[in-house]
Structure 1
C-alpha cells in the first residue's frame, strides 16, 4: 500500500473538525478532498482511494468536502479587485455566482451564490467582501452591469468599467467553474443552494492553493 503521507501533500490547512465521527484515516480524507477539488470527479477520486486501500462511496467524499467547510482566507489587501457574476445551473433553476478576484495574484477573495442579481444583492456581496478583506482603498474592476456600479457607489468604492485586461482574472475563474460543473454534472444535481455554495467556496479555497 502506498503511503498517505507522501500523497497528501501540503494539506495541513484543511481542518477536519468532524474527524471524530469518521472511520477514515485523516490523511486519506484530506487527499480525497484535495483530489476532488483539484479537478478529479468523485468517481475518479474514489478509484484512487480504493487503490490505496480505502473503500468509500462517492457521496462520502462529497460529504467530506461539505463538512470541511473550506473558504478563502480573510485579510487580503489588494490594489485591484475584479468583480463579476455568472449564471450557475442548479437543478432546473438558475442562480448567480458572484466572485471577487485579486487580478494581481489571481486569488479568489470571496464567492457567494444568489437566486438573483440586483442592486441589493450586489451591495450585500460587497459588504461581506469589505468585512473579510481590506478593499476600501482598492480600485474595483467591473463590467457595465448597473447593479455593480450602484453597489460600488453605495459603499463609496472607486471602480473602473473594464471589459478586458485585469478583469479577465475573474473570467478565467468562471471558465474553470463551468468546466467543472459541466464535466461533473453530479456536483449540482439534486442539491440545495447552500450545498452548491459550500462546494463553490471549497473550490475557491482549492483554487487559491493551486495557483
Structure 2
C-alpha cells in the first residue's frame, strides 16, 4: 500500500459524529487529529493547520481528539495476546497502564489506565479484553506478575509465562506511550484519569493504523 493510500485510509477511519456547528472544515479536523495522534505536539499541530489557513488553539485540537472517541477495532481473533502493565506519570501522580497487543501484527487490542495495581484491576482489564475480542483459542503471553496469572486462571484463559520473544511487541508500545506522555506534557497537564484513558485508546487507534 502506498503512503498516500495509507494516509487516505487513516483519514477516512476518523469519524466526526460529534460535529454539529463546528466551523472548521472536516478534512482539517481529521488531519489535526491524525497529526497529533501520529506524534506531533499540540503546538506543532496547530502550526501546521495555521499554514493551511485554519487557525485554532491547542485546546481545540485536544478536544477534537477526545470527542472523536477513537478506539481499536473489536472482534479480533489473534493466535497470541501479549499482556502486560507498566506505570506512567500524569502530573505528579502515578497510574498503572494495562495493555494487550497482538504480537503477530503489533496492533493494540485494548488498554486500561488504573489508579492502582492489584488482582482486581488485572481481572477487570482481562474481562474487558475478552468481552471485546474472540480470544477462546488465543494463548496469552504474560511475564512473572502473579495478578495477571490469576486473571487468566479466573477467566479460564490459556497462558504462558515468557519474558522475551513475542512479548517484546507490548514493550515496544509501552516505550512509545512513555515517550509521548513525557514529551508532550501539554496533552496531559491537569488531565483527569478518564481523559488520559480516552487519549490512550485514541493513541492505540492511531498506532494500529500507522505501524
TM-score range for the pair, normalised by the shorter chain length: over 0.9
Once the two structures are superposed, the pairs formed by residues 5-16 of structure 1 within 5 Å of their partners are 9-10=8-9, 11-16=11-16
In 1, Cα distance between equivalents of 2:143 and 2:101:
14
- Structure 1 runs (4+) deviating above 6 angstroms are none
Aligned to 1:81: 81
Structure 2-normalised TM-score? 0.95
What do residues 10-54 of structure 1 show as CA deviations (whole Å, max 9, x unaligned)? 211111111113111100000000000000000000000000000
Q: State the SS of the aligned residue for 1:20.
A: coil
Cα distance in structure 2, aligned partners of 1:21 and 1:103 = 42
Aligned residue pairs, count: 206
Report the equivalent of 2:115. 115
Deviations along 1:166-192, one digit per CA (max 9) or x if unpaired, are 000000000001111111111211011
Q: 1:9 offset after TM fit, Å?
A: 2.8
Match of 2:99 in 1: 99
Q: Which residue of 2 is the match for residue 132 of structure 1?
A: 132
Does residue 45 of structure 2 align to residue 45 of structure 1?
A: yes
Map of 1:3 onto structure 2 = none
1:57 maps to which residue?
Answer: 57
**Are 1:161 and 2:161 an aligned pair?**
yes
Please state how far the C-alpha of 1:194 moved relative to its aligned partner.
0.4
CA distance in 1, matches of 2:21, 2:118: 41
**Runs of 5+ unmatched residues, structure 1:** 1-5
